[in-house]
A = this chain, B = another copy of it.
Protein backbone atom coordinates (compact mmCIF):
# COMPACT_ATOMS: atom_id res chain seq x y z
CA UNK A 1 0.00 0.00 0.00
CA UNK A 2 2.63 2.51 1.02
CA UNK A 3 4.24 2.87 -2.41
CA UNK A 4 6.95 5.13 -1.10
CA UNK A 5 8.13 2.53 1.36
CA UNK A 6 7.91 -0.25 -1.18
CA UNK A 7 10.12 1.72 -3.53
CA UNK A 8 12.67 2.49 -0.84
CA UNK A 9 12.90 -1.13 0.16
CA UNK A 10 13.07 -2.40 -3.40
CA UNK A 11 15.77 0.15 -4.15
CA UNK A 12 17.86 -0.78 -1.15
CA UNK A 13 17.60 -4.46 -1.99
CA UNK A 14 18.64 -4.08 -5.60
CA UNK A 15 21.30 -1.45 -5.04
CA UNK A 16 22.93 -3.77 -2.56
CA UNK A 17 22.60 -6.86 -4.70
CA UNK A 18 23.78 -5.33 -7.98
CA UNK A 19 25.57 -2.09 -7.26
CA UNK A 20 23.88 1.23 -7.71
CA UNK A 21 25.09 1.98 -11.20
CA UNK A 22 24.04 -1.48 -12.34
CA UNK A 23 20.48 -1.06 -11.11
CA UNK A 24 18.12 0.67 -13.55
CA UNK A 25 15.10 2.47 -12.27
CA UNK A 26 12.97 0.07 -14.27
CA UNK A 27 14.26 -2.83 -12.21
CA UNK A 28 13.31 -1.00 -9.03
CA UNK A 29 9.82 -0.37 -10.38
CA UNK A 30 9.47 -4.05 -11.15
CA UNK A 31 10.75 -5.16 -7.76
CA UNK A 32 8.50 -2.66 -6.01
CA UNK A 33 5.51 -3.74 -8.06
CA UNK A 34 4.85 -0.27 -9.39
CA UNK A 35 5.11 1.46 -12.71
CA UNK A 36 8.18 3.38 -13.76
CA UNK A 37 6.43 6.70 -13.51
CA UNK A 38 5.24 6.09 -9.99
CA UNK A 39 8.76 6.25 -8.67
CA UNK A 40 9.04 9.74 -10.12
CA UNK A 41 5.93 10.80 -8.26
CA UNK A 42 7.78 10.24 -5.02
CA UNK A 43 11.39 10.93 -5.95
CA UNK A 44 12.39 13.54 -8.47
CA UNK A 45 15.52 11.72 -9.64
CA UNK A 46 17.46 8.55 -9.06
CA UNK A 47 19.89 10.54 -6.96
CA UNK A 48 17.10 11.77 -4.74
CA UNK A 49 15.92 8.21 -4.25
CA UNK A 50 19.41 7.20 -3.18
CA UNK A 51 19.62 10.09 -0.75
CA UNK A 52 16.24 9.16 0.70
CA UNK A 53 17.24 5.54 1.17
CA UNK A 54 20.33 6.69 3.00
CA UNK A 55 18.26 8.88 5.30
CA UNK A 56 15.72 6.11 5.79
CA UNK A 57 18.44 3.82 7.08
CA UNK A 58 19.96 6.50 9.25
CA UNK A 59 16.51 7.11 10.71
CA UNK A 60 16.18 3.45 11.61
CA UNK A 61 19.63 3.44 13.15
CA UNK A 62 18.72 6.41 15.27
CA UNK A 63 15.50 4.86 16.51
CA UNK A 64 17.31 1.70 17.35
CA UNK A 65 20.12 3.44 19.23
CA UNK A 66 18.06 5.94 21.15
CA UNK A 67 15.94 3.32 22.80
CA UNK A 68 18.41 2.75 25.58
CA UNK A 69 20.91 5.33 26.69
CA UNK A 70 19.78 5.88 30.19
CA UNK A 71 22.86 4.42 31.84
CA UNK A 72 24.86 6.88 33.82
CA UNK A 73 28.57 6.12 33.58
CA UNK A 74 30.50 7.07 30.45
CA UNK A 75 32.00 3.66 29.85
CA UNK A 76 28.73 1.73 30.25
CA UNK A 77 27.01 4.21 27.97
CA UNK A 78 29.76 3.86 25.39
CA UNK A 79 29.63 0.10 25.48
CA UNK A 80 25.86 0.11 25.33
CA UNK A 81 25.72 2.48 22.40
CA UNK A 82 28.44 0.65 20.48
CA UNK A 83 26.69 -2.64 20.96
CA UNK A 84 23.27 -1.48 19.79
CA UNK A 85 24.93 0.18 16.85
CA UNK A 86 26.80 -2.92 15.81
CA UNK A 87 23.87 -5.20 16.47
CA UNK A 88 21.56 -3.20 14.25
CA UNK A 89 23.90 -3.43 11.28
CA UNK A 90 24.74 -7.07 11.87
CA UNK A 91 21.06 -7.86 11.86
CA UNK A 92 20.37 -5.70 8.83
CA UNK A 93 23.19 -6.47 6.45
CA UNK A 94 21.43 -4.80 3.53
CA UNK A 95 21.49 -1.55 5.51
CA UNK A 96 25.18 -2.04 6.18
CA UNK A 97 26.04 -2.73 2.58
CA UNK A 98 24.06 0.24 1.36
CA UNK A 99 25.65 2.66 3.80
CA UNK A 100 29.09 1.24 3.14
CA UNK A 101 28.64 1.61 -0.59
CA UNK A 102 27.30 5.12 -0.61
CA UNK A 103 28.89 6.76 2.38
CA UNK A 104 31.65 8.55 0.49
CA UNK A 105 29.96 9.01 -2.81
CA UNK A 106 29.38 12.47 -4.24
CA UNK A 107 25.84 11.30 -4.93
CA UNK A 108 24.98 12.15 -1.35
CA UNK A 109 24.33 15.86 -0.93
CA UNK A 110 26.11 17.66 1.86
CA UNK A 111 22.70 18.24 3.41
CA UNK A 112 22.09 14.51 3.46
CA UNK A 113 25.50 13.81 4.94
CA UNK A 114 24.84 16.37 7.61
CA UNK A 115 21.53 14.82 8.56
CA UNK A 116 23.20 11.41 8.59
CA UNK A 117 25.60 12.60 11.24
CA UNK A 118 22.75 13.10 13.68
CA UNK A 119 22.92 9.41 14.38
CA UNK A 120 26.16 10.03 16.16
CA UNK A 121 24.79 12.83 18.32
CA UNK A 122 24.27 10.68 21.43
CA UNK A 123 27.68 9.20 20.85
CA UNK A 124 29.32 12.61 20.64
CA UNK A 125 27.74 13.61 23.90
CA UNK A 126 29.12 10.57 25.60
CA UNK A 127 32.57 11.27 24.24
CA UNK A 128 32.48 14.88 25.33
CA UNK A 129 31.38 13.93 28.81
CA UNK A 130 34.19 11.38 28.91
CA UNK A 131 36.75 13.95 27.93
CA UNK A 132 35.47 16.36 30.59
CA UNK A 133 35.86 13.62 33.17
CA UNK A 134 39.37 12.83 31.88
CA UNK A 135 38.32 9.29 30.99
CA UNK A 136 38.76 9.69 27.27
CA UNK A 137 41.77 10.81 25.27
CA UNK A 138 41.99 14.49 24.66
CA UNK A 139 41.90 14.27 20.87
CA UNK A 140 39.74 16.25 18.47
CA UNK A 141 36.32 14.69 18.86
CA UNK A 142 35.83 14.40 15.14
CA UNK A 143 39.10 12.57 14.70
CA UNK A 144 38.01 10.06 17.29
CA UNK A 145 34.62 9.70 15.69
CA UNK A 146 36.01 8.99 12.24
CA UNK A 147 38.50 6.52 13.60
CA UNK A 148 35.78 4.63 15.44
CA UNK A 149 33.35 4.80 12.55
CA UNK A 150 35.95 3.56 10.10
CA UNK A 151 37.03 0.78 12.41
CA UNK A 152 33.44 -0.23 12.93
CA UNK A 153 32.63 -0.35 9.26
CA UNK A 154 35.81 -2.24 8.44
CA UNK A 155 35.06 -4.77 11.11
CA UNK A 156 31.45 -5.20 9.98
CA UNK A 157 32.50 -5.62 6.37
CA UNK A 158 34.70 -8.48 7.41
CA UNK A 159 32.20 -9.95 9.86
CA UNK A 160 29.27 -9.90 7.47
CA UNK A 161 31.26 -11.13 4.49
CA UNK A 162 32.57 -14.03 6.50
CA UNK A 163 29.29 -15.06 8.02
CA UNK A 164 30.22 -14.12 11.58
CA UNK A 165 26.97 -12.25 12.12
CA UNK A 166 25.85 -14.51 14.91
CA UNK A 167 29.16 -14.89 16.66
CA UNK A 168 28.82 -12.77 19.76
CA UNK A 169 32.46 -13.02 20.79
CA UNK A 170 33.64 -10.91 17.89
CA UNK A 171 31.30 -8.13 18.88
CA UNK A 172 32.83 -8.18 22.32
CA UNK A 173 36.29 -8.09 20.81
CA UNK A 174 35.41 -5.20 18.66
CA UNK A 175 33.93 -3.13 21.45
CA UNK A 176 36.99 -3.87 23.53
CA UNK A 177 39.31 -2.55 20.84
CA UNK A 178 37.14 0.47 20.30
CA UNK A 179 37.11 1.39 23.97
CA UNK A 180 40.81 0.80 24.47
CA UNK A 181 41.62 3.01 21.53
CA UNK A 182 39.96 6.06 23.02
CA UNK A 183 40.24 5.73 26.79
CA UNK A 184 42.90 7.82 28.39
Contact = CB atoms under 8 A, between A and B. Distances in A.
- Chain A: interface size category: 35 or more
A122 to B, nearest CB: 19
A140 B173 CA distance: 9
Nearest to A183: B180
Given A19-B105, A101-B104, A181-B180, A158 B174 contact: no
B147 A104 contact: no
A139 interface: yes
B139 A173 contact: yes
B150 A146 contact: no
Contacts of A159: 143
A151 B157 contact: no
A146 B140 contact: no
B104 A143 contact: no
A142 to B, nearest CB: 6
Interface of A: 19, 21, 100-101, 104-106, 137, 139-140, 142-144, 146-155, 157-159, 162, 170, 173-174, 176-178, 180-183
